[in-house]
Structure 1
Amino acid sequence: MKNFVIFLFMIFLAESGYCQTACPVGVVPGSPQCGPDSGTSRGDAAPPRPTGEWIKTWGAIVGAGSSSQAWASIGKLSKKDAEADALDQCESAGVKDCSVEFTYRNQCVAVASASSANTKTGIGGAPEISTAKNNALHICEKNGGSDCSVIYSDCTKPIFKKY
């Protein structure tokens, strides 16, 4: 009786293994008529490894109360570097009261100014340059400008670093 139970167990075990293939009855496993199996027997290739990474960059806009000019820095690896570069540009122009007006990372910026001297400029940032321009114009108009126009726009661009 003990041998008979073992025999039945072996038959059911073999039958469950046969049922795991995706082949019609009478077709040899591995033939083109078989469907895909669970993938455990195929040895699927691993997805390709990335060859590098995209590094997001920073930009900064610097202005001065004593000047109607603005200075910009883009494509820097840190916020500190972007601010320092734009401040250096301002100071090398002989301006003493330089200050960081706007910093941004992985986006676009636009500066809008009105023709009237008493109106503060508008600086706007956004993921797309058209939206940044619209934001800058809106801020310029909100600051009292009626004839605002975009005087500067640019986007930071990511840098691809290979492994």
Structure 2
Amino acid sequence: MQIYRRLWLVLITIFVSLPMGNAADLVSPPPEPAGEEKGIWGAIAFSPVDGQHGFFWGADKRQEAEDAALKHCENAKGQACSVVKVFRNHRHWDDDDGTGFPYEHCAALSVGKNAHAQTPFWGAASAMTRREAVQQAMTLCGGEDNECKIREWVCT
């Protein structure tokens, strides 16, 4: 009899210590993985050696946007392509992931007339609006003094 009582006490202790859920646990979405960067991602890749570029926007993941922009630049026969700007837009207004990476909806690439020179003039920027992104890219390129033109822009 003592053995049964002890066994019941052990079983009750185990049962009570099990985590209990509720109906909300069955319908709640799983938590986001730690460190996941949220948003709609875009990237610009540029090859200063030959002035080739690649753009991509609308990716779910940052790495996806970077890889696609690089691939587009390389497909354009860019010899030294690298990602020069990464940007993102909110998927939902409350999706701040706490990483500090800004939500800048637009990006632009400006390239000077001498894009094939030893040290080409170019600029890539992202901002909240197309106008701001274009202005910043032009400024980084050197503006009219370097005969810079917007090669491409995008807003996600």
Same fold (TM over 0.5): yes
- Change beyond 3 A, Cα 1:89–1:108: same
Percent sequence identity over matched residues? 29
Aligned length: 101
Other-structure match for 1:148: 148
Question: Equivalents in 2 of 1:116, 1:95: separation in Å?
Answer: 16
Pick closer, same or farther for the CA change 1:140–1:74 going to 2, 3 Å.
same
Q: Which has the higher helix share?
A: 2
Counterpart in the other structure of 1:122: 123
Q: Return closer, same or farther for 1:96/1:105 CA change in 2, 3 Å cut-off.
A: same
Residue 145 of structure 1 and its aligned partner are, at CA, apart by 4.6
Give the alignment's TM-score, normalised by structure 1. Answer: 0.55
Give structure 1 regions of 4+ aligned residues with deviation exceeding 4 angstroms: none
- Rounded to whole Å, the distance in 2 between the matches of 1:95 and 1:114 is 17
1:66 correspondence with 2:49:
yes
Q: Are the aligned partners of 1:111 and 1:136 in contact in 2 as well (CA < 8 Å)? A: yes
More off after superposition, 131-140 vs 63-72:
63-72
For each residue in 1:80-117, what CA deviation from the matched residue of structure 2 results, as whole angstroms up to 9, or x when unmatched?
Answer: 00011111222334444321111111110011122134
Provide the alpha-carbon RMSD of the alignment: 2.1
Tell me the distance in 1 between the aligned counterparts of 2:136 and 2:48. 22
1:115/1:94 CA distance change after superposition, 3 Å: closer
Change in Cα spacing, 1:100 to 1:129, as seen in structure 2 (3 Å) is same
Q: CA deviation at 1:68?
A: 0.9
Q: 1:89 aligns with which of 72, 79, 83?
A: 72
| Equivalent position amino acid for 1:60 in 2 | A
In the superposition, the TM-score normalised over structure 2's length comes to: 0.57
